[in-house]
Amino acid sequence: MTDAKEDESLTLTDTLSSWMRDAFRTAYPDAPTDFEEVVVVETANPEFGDYQCNAAMGLARHLKLAPRVIADHIAAHTDLPPFMARIEVAGPGFLNLYLDDAWLAGQIETLAAGERMGAPAAGGGKTVVMDYGSPNMTKPLHIGHLRSHNIGSVLDRMHRFLGYHVIADNHLGDWGTQFGVTIMGYRNFGDAAAMKSSPLEELERVYVLSYEQTKKDSDWMDRCRQELVKLQSGDPENTEMWEMFMRLSLEELDRIYARLGVHYDEIRGESYYRDKLAGTVARLEEAGLAVQSEGATVVFLEEEKLPVCIVRKSDGGFNYATSDLATVASRVEEHHPDRIIYITDERQQLHFKQFFAICRRLGYEVGLDHVWFGLMRLPEATFSTREGNVIKLDALLDEAESRAQAIIAESSPEMPEAERKRVAAAVGIGAVKYADLSQNPQSLVTFTWDKALALDGNSGPYLQYAYARIASVRDKYSERFPDGSPETEPLRLLEPIERTLALRLIRFGDVVVRAAHQYKPNVLTDYLYDLAQTYSSFYQNVPFLKAPEGIRESRVRLCGIVAAVLKQGLDLLGIDTPARI
């Protein structure tokens, strides 16, 4: 029998599944199936055990036996490994599995001592390039840009945590059509002082003015295109202007990235690949993939039942697909990744299907995933720069911090000003991030201030509060029992809620793996909220410091392990955990 700690790349459900699979194979050696479908899952209801296996029902047909007969046989004839207390059969053939209490307590004791809180080294050193954020360099970030950065950086952190070698790359939109419009705008309406103080706002302002001109003046767009062609062919004046735009925009991005806690290993915009675009098209032509059609160079994707993909426009310009193809070539050559993961909004699904299809035809073996998320919209409408109904990301974060600050001022008036500001930033920004991450990424998000800034209920601050209470409990313990050492006392799971808490803690590894591999941060937020709720109930209903010696230490120790898992989970979400809030 496998010991649950033997293989570092397995989660607990992997181990349980493997054990159950062996049990089925032993019981039915001549069965016409390899039992690969036998898996163990967490139970939703404690009434049905800690984990359950539902395979007997599904296998009934293959084995030509009643499901209940199969389940009874497995339960009666399977040796129990050290981690298992008992198996029960229920209903039509459910196998309800109960973990051994002593084993469970032992696992929890060692959980916090390990590097990963029981999570496996699932990455095994595989290299993954993660492409997220990718802002347009001519506009300030608005609330709609939160998701790619937020979801992307959480998936990034989770993959690193699981032992993947991650290269996070910010593929800036710094070379597209918008620059012709922006250069024309800046030449005609630019304000050098405003450009210094808030560059992205100024770039956006001149972009909007210039864009409006295209409607009034039919030559305007042609002149914009000419400016772009000049830039792309190396005209010194336009290049200098572009470099200034980039320098100032990057400074502003750095500022907001620091605020959000987003970090990249590489920042390579589309411009980085500009000299490789012609060669990319040539390569497609040599491979017989790209052909001339209606004056443009295109790739037909009829086999994949996808629409045609344009790789070079009839005016000679290149577009997004070409840039992405050049980028993938560069990444493969330089990093040899096992997988490249792109995180963008849902509107780009077709683009990525086309782009991935071309990559397959070119023979790339690297795994390619497009993680798309639903657009953010306002209750009344979608927002757009042109409509003028955008909410700047900075403004959202400012509001979040000031709401948090108001509550702290009320609840902790004695807190020093500097700490109050730090905590307000942690709580406010944590609230904004959590509100976004706790939804299924693929859901369309309707933005409301109250939802984005929720400070109670299922919210980031609820988790931070649970963490801070534990820090406080442990401080009080040290004050009152300076000679005590909870970490060396055995963990005793006496009250039902304590065992429930232990069962939550031991799920952490499975949860992180599921969240990372399904690209769903909300799997982790759901878990952490459940953990914090279970802890809060424990906190409210069970005495720690007033408990008898021994039990007291066990409970304080359990608190510490909950705190460690909460902190690790919140770290993965990019949310800070102040010791006091």
Partner RNA sequence: ACCCCGGUAGCUCAGUUGGAUAGAGCAUCGGAUUUCUAAUCCGACGGUCACAGGUUCGAGCCCUGUCCGGGGUGCCA
Alpha carbon 438 to chain centroid, angstroms: 10
Q: Which is nearer to RNA, 230 or 514 (CB)?
A: 514
Check: CB of residue 362 under 8 Å from CB of residue 289: yes
Closest approach, Cβ 193 to RNA, in A, equals 29
289: contact with RNA by CB under 7 A: no
Q: Which residues pair with 297 in a beta bridge?
A: 292, 312
Exposure string of 490-507, with b = 16+ CB inside 10 Å and e = fewer, is: ebbbeeebbbbbbbbbbb
348: contact with RNA by CB under 7 A: yes
Alpha carbons 296 and 240: distance in angstroms, whole number: 30
> Of residues 494-523, which lie at the interface with RNA (CB under 7 A)?
514, 520, 522-523
- Contacts with 101 (C-beta within 8 Å, 6 or more apart), sequence order: 85, 493, 499
Q: Which is nearer to RNA, 9 or 537 (CB)?
A: 537
- Contacts with 47 (C-beta within 8 Å, 6 or more apart), sequence order: none
DSSP labels, 40-97? EEE-SSGGG-SEEE-HHHHHHHHHTS-HHHHHHHHHHHPPPPTTEEEEEEETTTEEEE
456: contact with RNA by CB under 7 A: yes
Closest approach, Cβ 367 to RNA, in A, equals 20
Q: H-helix or E-strand containing 478?
A: helix 460-480
> Of residues 367-396, which lie at the interface with RNA (CB under 7 A)?
374-375, 382
- Contacts with 243 (C-beta within 8 Å, 6 or more apart), sequence order: none
Helices 417-437 and 393-411 pack at an angle, to 10 degrees, of 130
Alpha carbon 545 to chain centroid, angstroms: 38
Extended strands (E) in 120-176: 127-131, 165-170
Closest approach, Cβ 197 to RNA, in A, equals 27
If one counts every other C-beta atom within 10 angstroms of the C-beta of residue 262, the result is: 20
DSSP labels, 506-536? HTHHHHHHHHHHTT-HHHHHHHHHHHHHHHH
Q: What does each C-alpha distance from 322 to 176, 244, 279, 327, 457 come to in angstroms? A: 12, 26, 10, 9, 47
Q: What is the torsion angle, in degrees rounded to the nearest 10, for the CA atoms of residue 496, residue 500, residue 502 and residue 506?
A: 160
Closest approach, Cβ 173 to RNA, in A, equals 5
Closest approach, Cβ 268 to RNA, in A, equals 13
Of the candidate spans 99-107, 145-153, 394-402, 540-548, the one that interacts with RNA by CB under 7 A turns out to be 540-548
| Contact pattern from residue 74 through residue 113 relative to RNA, giving x for each residue in contact according to CB under 7 A and a dash for the rest | ----------------xxx-x-x-----------------
533: contact with RNA by CB under 7 A: yes
238: contact with RNA by CB under 7 A: no
Of the candidate spans 104-112, 260-268, 287-295, 563-571, the one that interacts with RNA by CB under 7 A turns out to be 287-295
| Contact pattern from residue 291 through residue 320 relative to RNA, giving x for each residue in contact according to CB under 7 A and a dash for the rest | --xxxx-x--------xx-x--xxx-x-xx
261: contact with RNA by CB under 7 A: no
Of the candidate spans 118-126, 388-396, 465-473, 488-496, the one that interacts with RNA by CB under 7 A turns out to be 465-473
Computed on alpha carbons and rounded to an integer, the radius of gyration of the chain in Å comes to: 28
Q: Which is nearer to RNA, 165 or 451 (CB)?
A: 451
121: contact with RNA by CB under 7 A: no
Q: How many residues bind RNA (CB under 7 A)?
A: 104
Check: CB of residue 141 under 8 Å from CB of residue 256: yes
214: contact with RNA by CB under 7 A: no
| Contact pattern from residue 389 through residue 428 relative to RNA, giving x for each residue in contact according to CB under 7 A and a dash for the rest | ---------------x--xx--xx----------x---x-
178: contact with RNA by CB under 7 A: yes
218: contact with RNA by CB under 7 A: no
278: contact with RNA by CB under 7 A: no
349: contact with RNA by CB under 7 A: yes
455: contact with RNA by CB under 7 A: yes
> Of residues 24-43, which lie at the interface with RNA (CB under 7 A)?
37, 39, 41-43
Q: Which is nearer to RNA, 102 or 551 (CB)?
A: 551
332: contact with RNA by CB under 7 A: no
Closest approach, Cβ 41 to RNA, in A, equals 5
Both tokens of residue 417?
């000003």
- Contacts with 314 (C-beta within 8 Å, 6 or more apart), sequence order: 294, 295, 296
Closest approach, Cβ 113 to RNA, in A, equals 24
**Among residues 442, 449, 478, 490, the one that binds RNA under rule CB under 7 A:** 442
485: contact with RNA by CB under 7 A: no
**Among residues 137, 158, 299, 468, the one that binds RNA under rule CB under 7 A:** 468
Of the candidate spans 155-163, 188-196, 233-241, 542-550, the one that interacts with RNA by CB under 7 A turns out to be 542-550
Both tokens of residue 350?
């077709």
**Among residues 471, 491, 570, 572, the one that binds RNA under rule CB under 7 A:** 471
Alpha carbons 411 and 388: distance in angstroms, whole number: 38
Closest approach, Cβ 191 to RNA, in A, equals 25
Closest approach, Cβ 365 to RNA, in A, equals 25
Q: Which is nearer to RNA, 110 or 442 (CB)?
A: 442
Among 191, 175, 168, residue whose Cα is nearest residue 137: 175
